[in-house]
Amino acid sequence: MKLQQPLSGVRVIEICNVAAGPFGAMLLADLGADVVKIEAPGAGDTLRAWPPHTGPQGDALSENFASLNRNKRSVVLDLKDAAQNAMARTLISQAQVLIENNRPGVMQRLGLGYEAMRALNPALIYCSISAYGQAGPRSQQGGFDVTVQAVSGIMSVTGEADGAPVKCGVPVADFTAGLYGAMAICAQLRQVAASGQGAHIDVPMMGTSLAIAALQTSEYFGTGRDPVKLGSAHPRNAPYQAFRAQDDDLVMAAGTQALWETVCRIVHSDDLMQDARFKTTALRAANQQALKDALESILQTRSASHWIEAFSQAGVPCVRINKYSDVVADPQTLAMDWVQPLVMPNGVHTRTVGTPIRFNGEGAQIRRAPPRLGEHTDEILGSLA
């Protein structure tokens, strides 16, 4: 079966740094789009400076950069230089999509704002990713993943109840914005095909981070009370969290009455089954600490492996808390080919997590290594002549 590339023939210009925009553009590149990454002379994308760097002395390249920039081509242009800015304008005029994640106003000052580019290319899909959006009282404020996690409410429900503020270990604000941007671009491509008219897509990290908190905001709307930090627990399901066994932690999720009854049978505890505090899902959620204490007194009599196998065989979701070294070697990861080999431009052989999406059983492949800074400048600008 021929591997599908649904976005083959779509040219995307990326003028972005670090995470949100580059991630969104990479998703499009994985689906076949030709992504041309315009970088500033000198250091290029800030992510190129982030460790770890691998390779020979004097030619070590960032693995962080590689993880977000496969399947792209790199062009170096100084957008403050009139002649080079004109080249960027020409590239944009010939593209279907532009993605930028600068602070609002930066692209306009460079003469590359949406209205100017729409005049050149009415069908252009112009996607702006920023911390707070293109309008509103916060629009001119800068932001990074951690500040957006804070202002959007994510940090208020992350961590243990009596613990200091912590962020989610994965930069969810950055990557959520990238996902929303890629989704909106794909939807707008269909509209452009029908009408020939492009659009300006405004992707605010604060807004997309708020949007994925649908269960938390609906709890507040329904009760008038702010959701609270519960560690690994769930506000409405129990047992549904991390538990300590004899030698290690495990995570068990028995979020239905039938699964709860199965748990009681596996741990051989009629007392738990009959306890009035644990009779329903709502009661168990309301008495989570007592439930956790009671379960752990039993779970700590045997190893985590014993309980994981027993619960899993009975259909109760139960797993270890994997480190990343564990998950990349997990049999499911290997069977689905989520980890792909990657050869860096300096010859270093490494690995990366490719797109997990499959079309008719086929996953997207890595067509291009992450580019060296300006690797394709001559190739792409030469085609403009």
DSSP 370: P
Q: Which of 30, 34, 45, 174 is catalytic?
A: 174
Question: Which single residue is written with the structure tokens 């290997």?
Answer: 334
Those residues with Cβ within 8 angstroms of residue 19's Cβ, 6 or more apart along the chain or in another chain: 47, 68, 145, 171, 174, 175, 178
Q: Which two tokens stand for residue 94?
A: 């010939």
Is 378 among the residues known to form the active site? no
Rounded Cα–Cα distance for residues 71 and 342 (Å): 11
Radius of gyration of the chain (CA): 25
| C-alpha to C-alpha distance for 97 and 185, rounded to whole angstroms | 8
Residues 17 and 142: their CA atoms lie apart, in Å, by 13
Decide if 219 contacts 227 (C-beta within 8 A). Answer: yes
Q: Could you tell me if 200 and 126 are in contact, meaning their C-beta atoms sit under 8 angstroms apart?
A: yes
Single out the residue of 174, 150, 127, 155 nearest to residue 33, CA to CA.
127
Using alpha carbons only, give the angle 53, 33, 361 rounded to the nearest 5 degrees.
90
Q: What gap in Å lies between CA 348 and CA 344, rounded to an integer?
A: 5
d(CA 10, CA 141): 32
CA distance 230 to 100: 36
| DSSP tag of 46 | G
Catalytic residues: 174
